[in-house]
Amino acid sequence: MKVKDYFKEHKWIIPVAIAAGVLIITAIVIAVYSSGHFAKGTKVNGIDVSGMSVKQLQKRIGEYSINVKERKIDEKSRDESFFEETIKGSDIGLAVGDAQPLYDILKGQGFIKFFVGDKKDYEISHTLSYDKDLLAKEVSALKGASATDGTEAVSASIAEYTEGKGYEIVSEQQGDILDEQATCEVIEKAVASLKESVDLSKEKAYKKPEFTSESDVLKDAVETLNRYVGTKITYQFGDDTVVLDGTRINKWIKIKKDNTVKLRRNKVEKFVQELHRKYDTVFTNRKFKTAYGDTVTVYGGDYGWWMNTVKET
């Protein structure tokens, strides 16, 4: 049988051969393409490299920049606003470090994983390299790093004594001056995974108040203060009544810079001495009116009111 006649009788062979050829060529193209491109879902140290070649990743890194969101607080109104600055990867010397581990990942993925995907985050060292000194310089150049133009954070404090309320904590106020070390750490972490932006307020990269309303030292101080001013002592001297309570005691208290509390002993002693001088009658001279209408003076004598000032203090 002639070849021509054979193909006439088996017409299906040609389209099948063509289809098979197309499939083979397609498979070869895909195999070649997949050998140089990461499978869908592939991450390297948190960086999504799906469908990229190593050169494309290097290009992306070369063009990389990160938007840094910062806050601004009005010193008087304490109103909060936000603005952004940009740090370029090229400004901090960002580049692919050792590329060989990336090629090793591509080699390990192969043709099948390229189709089905490889939802894996590969952890390899030295993927990215950058100059930490240059990064620190860029952070120092951020507007939020300027203490001159910034608003300082204000620590929580203890309000002055109020009759009927005692002492209360005044809440802290956040500032807008960056903690440069914390900021560097936040940006380093973001750059390591090529994040496009970072919010320094959410990442708590600002200088913090020394004391907050949740600080134990403040809570303890207020508890101690209110225990002092919550004291009430009533002295009865004949027809005279003297009440010692918070309205007087609060003036005897000193709150130190570290928010610890001190009761001024000299103030307490002064109060006791005043009572002693005014109301103690023992050993003092007394005048009496006799039944005859005359006034006589009795000198001294170990009877009358006497206050133990040491014990009372």
Examine the pLDDT at 162 and tell me if it is beyond 90. Answer: yes
Q: What is the arithmetic mean of pLDDT over 248-254?
A: 93
pLDDT at 230 over 70: yes
The pLDDT assigned to 280 comes to 53
Of all residues in the chain, the percent with pLDDT exceeding 90 is: 43
Considering the chain, what is the average pLDDT of its residues? 82
Q: Hey, which CATH number is domain 216-312, 3.40.50.300, 3.90.1710.10, 3.30.450.20, 3.10.20.800?
A: 3.10.20.800
Please list the residue range(s) of the chain that carry CATH number 3.10.20.800: 216-312
Q: Can you read off the two tokens belonging to residue 278? A: 């005014």
Segment among 117-131, 253-267, 273-287 with least mean pLDDT: 273-287
**Cα(56)–Cα(62) distance, integer angstroms:** 10
Write the pLDDT tens digit of every residue in 67-122: 999 999 998 888 999 999 999 999 999 998 888 888 888 888 877 787 778 888 98
**Is 281 or 159 the better-scoring residue by pLDDT?**
159
- Is the pLDDT reported for residue 276 higher than 90? no
Q: Return all residues near 234 (Cβ < 8 A) that are at least 6 apart.
A: 241, 242, 243, 244
Task: Provide the H-helix boundaries in 36-152.
Answer: 54-62, 100-116, 132-140
In 62-87, which positions are buried (b, 16+ CB within 10 angstroms) versus exposed (e)? eebebebbbbebeeeeeeeeeeeeeb
Contact 130/92 with Cβ under 8 angstroms?
Answer: yes
pTM given for the model: 0.68
- The angle formed by the CA atoms of residues 128, 130 and 133, to the nearest 5 degrees, is 155
Rg of the chain on CA atoms, in Å: 42
Average pLDDT over residues 223-248: 88
For 12-60, the pLDDT digits (tens) are 556 666 666 667 776 666 666 667 788 888 998 888 888 889 899 888 8
Name the more confident of 31 and 297: 31
The H-or-E segment that residue 19 falls in is helix 13-35
Residue type, 122: Y
